[in-house]
Structure 1
Amino acid sequence: MNYEWVDGYLLSKPEVTKEFKEEWEWDRYLLKGKMISALCTDKNGKEILTLKCEPVFAKKLRSQYKDIIPGYYMNKVHWNSVYLEGEVSDEVIKNMIDHSYELVINKLSKKMQNAIKNGDKND
């Protein structure tokens, strides 16, 4: 994998946890039980990172990078997958992770959002 830092970066986000989904063979990254990302391999064994993405931004990224495709085994409108053996820069991947995290946190209740932002684990 070209992006060894991805796991640590995802887990550095407040309240993000990691779980292995055995039946899918995916590492999933969750915020309060809602998936923000997944690391897995495609049917050819190539490593991919899948991230939630706003639809217009998702299309823009796909048009700019051949290694960014519609979400693998996910809703093709709201998710993108990135081939990790490709040529997408660290900066773009970090921006995609940040974007995915923000999309998910903004769907949580205001109480949960405030608790996460304030570092309160007892929400």
Structure 2
Amino acid sequence: MNIDNFREYCLRKPGTIEEFPFDNETLVFKVMGKMYALSGLKSWEGGEPRINLKCNPEYAQELRGEYPESILPGWHMNKHHWNTIVLNGEISFNQLQGFIDHSYDLIVNSLTKKLKEQLKSLD
């Protein structure tokens, strides 16, 4: 996966916007104003890109145990609810899409009824 694939995949999700709320380097994706994915743009310039994604705490622990070199506690995030995914070749494109979907769904499921209705109207 490259930055364009990551960006395009996230932007296809209903209600998603991209912004740079922290600095000019950290690309953040939000649904209805709530963050579900972020990545430092400099991490994509050679080396192993990294993506932070929200995750169910129990599932996060399971994934970290299964992929100790590729899935780490969220860098600069609540380590209970966020994972950092290292794109080192161990995680497939389909798996990464599933992790992005999981993060997005966690946020959507936590939205208020009013925001969920607004999101549905965007489809």
**Structure 1 counterpart of 2:116, one-letter code:** Q
**Is the aligned partner of 1:104 residue 2:110?**
no
Contact 2:32 2:119 survives alignment (8 Å): no
Once the two structures are superposed, residues 20-77 of structure 1 have per-residue CA deviations (whole angstroms, 9 ceiling, x without a partner) of: 2353720000112111000113xxx742100000000001111111211000110111
What residue identity is the alignment partner of 1:30?
Answer: K
By percentage of residues, which structure has more helix?
2
TM-score, length of structure 2 as denominator length:
0.84
Deviation at 1:105, TM superposition (A): 0.9
CA distance in structure 2 between the partners assigned to 1:94 and 1:18 by the alignment: 17
Query: Identity of counterpart residues, as a percentage?
Result: 39
- Pair 1:50-2:52 in alignment: yes
Q: Aligned-residue CA RMSD in angstroms?
A: 2.1
Structure 1, unpaired ranges of 5+: none
Unaligned runs of 5+ in 2: none
Partners of 1:2 and 1:85 within 8 A in 2:
no
- TM normalised by structure 1 equals 0.84
Q: 2:18·2:28 contact (CA, 8 Å) conserved in 1?
A: yes
- Number of aligned residue pairs: give it: 118
